[in-house]
Amino acid sequence: MSASVEARGVRKEYGGLVAVEDLTFAVDRGEILGVLGPNGAGKTTAIRVLTTILAPTRGTFVVAGVPHTRPADIRRQIGVLPESAGYPELQTGEEYVRYHARLFGHSRASARAVAHTLLAEAGLRERGRSPIGSYSRGMRQRLGIARALVNEPQVVVLDEPTLGLDPAGQRQVLALVRRIARERGATVLLSTHLLAEVEETCSRVLILNHGRVAAEGTVAEVSRQAAAPRSARLRVPADAVPDALRILASVRGVRAAEPAEGQPGTLALGFEENQASGPANDALCALADAGVSVLFFELEGARLSDAFLAMTEAA
Amino acid sequence: MAAVEGTARPPAWAVVAGQELRDLWLGGRGLLLSLAFSGLLSVLSYLVATNTALNFLEQRESVNLTLQVAIAVGAMLALLAGADAVSGERERGSLESLLLTPVSRLQLTGGKLLAALSLWVAAYIVTIPYVWFLGRGVGIVGVALATGALVGTLLAVFLVSLGVLVSIFAGSNRVSLSVSLFALLALFAPTQFPTSAQQGWAGDLFLRANPLTAGEHYVGKIVVDGHPWSQDASWLVSPVASAALFAILAAFAGARFMRLSGDVSK
């Protein structure tokens, strides 16, 4: 196993309930893996197994080159923001990060320096000496991420870091995640429900459903694998609609073209089954060749969110 | 890892204990409990020393009563801190972050146990002036304080370990605190038995087997009856054995079963 994180056939059951079954995937150093799945899909259990909080019932995994049989050594190499992490309300942010740095073996002076650096990196320099009880949810999440970095981890695992945050807070946290992967070269496992942000942030995705891997690969691979583009919406000038419909009807692979709801000139296109982007390209070329301006074009069924819904609803 | 190599660092249990002590004392909880404890001792001392209607106690008995209350309440405070140690962290959502550090669960347990014991130490320190005030002039202050320190520490170690043990397996913090307090009340119950029930070989065995009654009996023999330390040493068997056994059990359970859930099957 040479990947930064590699799991093979990991299974976790509680009593008779199987929470994770045959979890197999690999992610390389510096990559950001989006771990997706509906509620109850087994994301948090999988993360807790990989971070040694729970012992696997079966299977093996390696994190940062350390086999799962050495959990304490794995913990030295990883930084984790648990789901719904709690914080001591009366401690200051600086004190909190310093304490965890010391638990990872830093001396008093080194822990202080690490706390200053990480709080600044997380955008909390000004609030480092305020009690955590006065922090907003977004600040707490960023504090948790700062805490997860005290040991300069090779692998960072973030379980729902954007949960309950407003759009600005989500953007700040995701920017921090991208910086961790880019500047520290750390592998990031990011569990989230924000599919659009996963498309932007993650190089690979792992979709879990009912405890099993429903799909794994790059965002493009998973999107293609689950849902080839089957329809599109486009808009042309309202007076060009009859010409556009006539032209589109003659394009091979275009099953249907008809006016759609929305702004005047909006058309809905249907493609033949199993046809990928070819007919869409042909349709756009045909319109351009005929001098019909295309004001808007969007493929439907090609996004990660479509793939996610297709995979999790079908199962 | 970025830790500075070659720099002398304290063991992890000391780091945990240090932070727990800061949380307990700088957070105000420890000070508040100590203040309430001090108020209780003040009322008790006032009653036994100044109220002529109630002051039927001989001076040694006043010291003994104060010392026994101090041991019982001080150990109870430590028990409550122990009972909150794991289940409280679990309920506040901060346990997972601790379990994700490379610190062994044995060291986490040890650090928390030591910090909880500080409540007994504080209670003992608060008790010193009261014992001095009530016992001055009859030459028992030193021996009373030494006996109180010995027995109180043994019972505090026993009760903190019991609290930590319950806390490790409790499904919630409320359950942990309730079970611990119930266990404490059950241990104190024999002190309220009629004298006849405390006599005979069965009564004697019962008092000796219960670390709380045995410890308090020993304190009484030294402080009130003026016995030498060794004469009633057999009464210390139960407190010593309980302190050692429960400390080992708490350490083992912490190392083996400290988990995100109190349910050991998970």
Lowest-pLDDT range of A226-230, A236-240, B57-61, B214-218: A226-230
| ipTM attached to this prediction | 0.87
- With CA atoms as reference, the chain B residue closest to A157 would be B100
Does residue B5 carry a pLDDT above 60? no
Residue B22 within a domain: no
pLDDT at B217: 92
What's the average model confidence in pLDDT over B76-88?
Answer: 94
- With CA atoms as reference, the chain A residue closest to B8 would be A107
pLDDT at A298: 81
Residue of B13, B21, B22, B97 to mutate, testing the A interface (most A Cβ within 10 Å of its Cβ): B97
Quick one: B106 exposed, middle or buried, by C-beta within 10 A (0-12, 13-18, 19+)? Answer: middle
pLDDT at B149: 96
- A235-285 pLDDT, tens digit per residue, is 999 999 999 999 988 888 888 888 988 788 899 888 876 555 677 888 899
Residue B143 within a domain: yes
pLDDT at B3: 46
Residues A67 and A212 in one domain: yes
From CA B45, how far away is CA B36, in angstroms rounded?
Answer: 14
3-state class percentages of chain B: helix first, strand second, coil last, to nearest 5: 75, 0, 25
Identify the CATH number of the domain in which residue A254 sits.
3.30.70.100
Residue B8 within a domain: no
Chain A CB contacts of B94 below 8 Å: 85-88
Confidence band of A195 (pLDDT split at 50, 70, 90): confident
Range of the domain at A96: 5-225
3-state secondary structure of A207: strand
From CA B205, how far away is CA A200, in angstroms rounded?
Answer: 73
pLDDT at A256: 86
Q: How many domains does chain B have?
A: 1
The shortest CB-CB distance from B1 to any of A76, A95, A107 is to A76
Contact B112, B253 (CB under 8 A): no
> Pick the residue with more confidence: A98 or B134?
A98
Chain B CB contacts of A146 below 8 Å: none
Does residue B46 carry a pLDDT above 50? yes
The residue among A200, A225, A250 that closes a domain is A225
Residue A25 to residues A60, A220, A260, B7, B49, Cα–Cα distance (Å): 11, 17, 42, 40, 75
A115's tokens? 């706390």
Report how many Cβ contacts below 8 Å link chain A to chain B.
Answer: 92
The one-letter code for the residue type at B127 is T
Partner-chain contact A103 B99, CB within 8 Å: no
* Residues contacting B39, CB < 8 A, separation 6+: none
Which residues of A lie inside 8 Å of B (Cβ-Cβ)? 14-15, 48, 51-54, 72-73, 75-76, 78, 80, 82, 84-88, 90-91, 95, 99-100, 102-107, 109-110, 114, 144, 147, 150-152
3-state secondary structure of A112: helix
Contact A164, A139 (CB under 8 A): no
- With CA atoms as reference, the chain B residue closest to A75 would be B102
Does residue A78 carry a pLDDT above 80? yes
pLDDT at A276: 52
From CA A19, how far away is CA B196, in angstroms rounded?
Answer: 59
3-state secondary structure of A34: strand
**Residue whose tokens read 């789901």:** A83
Contact A31, A204 (CB under 8 A): yes
Chain B CB contacts of A107 below 8 Å: 3-4, 7-9
The residue among A225, A253, A271 that closes a domain is A225
> Pick the residue with more confidence: A313 or A51?
A51
> CA B10: distance to chain centroid?
26
Q: Give the ranges where B51-172 is alpha helix by DSSP (H).
A: 59-84, 87-92, 95-99, 105-135, 141-169
Q: Which helix (H) or strand (E) holds A197?
A: helix A195-201
Does residue A94 carry a pLDDT above 90? yes
Identify the CATH number of the domain in which residue A206 sits.
3.40.50.300
pLDDT at A275: 53
Residues A298 and A212 in one domain: no
Residue B47 to residues A268, B44, B126, Cα–Cα distance (Å): 91, 5, 18
> Pick the residue with more confidence: B151 or A185?
B151
What's this model's pTM, rounded to 2 decimal places?
0.82
Computed over its alpha carbons, how large is the radius of gyration of chain B? 20
Residues A242 and A309 in one domain: yes
> Pick the residue with more confidence: B123 or A222?
B123
Contact B62, B44 (CB under 8 A): no
DSSP secondary structure letter of residue A8 = E
Contact B138, B220 (CB under 8 A): no
From CA A267, how far away is CA A297, in angstroms rounded?
Answer: 10
Residues A163 and A216 in one domain: yes
Average pLDDT score, chain A:
88
Residues A24 and A131 in one domain: yes
Contact A236, A292 (CB under 8 A): yes
What's the average model confidence in pLDDT over B245-249?
Answer: 97
Does residue B45 carry a pLDDT above 70? yes
Residue B43 within a domain: yes
Average pLDDT score, chain B:
89
pLDDT at B2: 46
* Residues contacting B42, CB < 8 A, separation 6+: B130
From CA B86, how far away is CA B78, in angstroms rounded?
Answer: 14
pLDDT at A270: 84
Partner-chain contact B1 A105, CB within 8 Å: yes
What's the average model confidence in pLDDT over A22-50?
Answer: 92
Residues A212 and A307 in one domain: no
What's the average model confidence in pLDDT over B39-59?
Answer: 76
Range of the domain at B172: 29-257
Partner-chain contact B93 A84, CB within 8 Å: yes
Residues A218 and A236 in one domain: no
Residues A140 and A41 in one domain: yes
> Pick the residue with more confidence: B203 or A212?
A212
Partner-chain contact B92 A86, CB within 8 Å: yes
Partner-chain contact B99 A91, CB within 8 Å: no
Residue B262 within a domain: no
3-state secondary structure of A58: strand
Does residue B135 carry a pLDDT above 90? no
The residue among A194, A225, A256 that closes a domain is A225
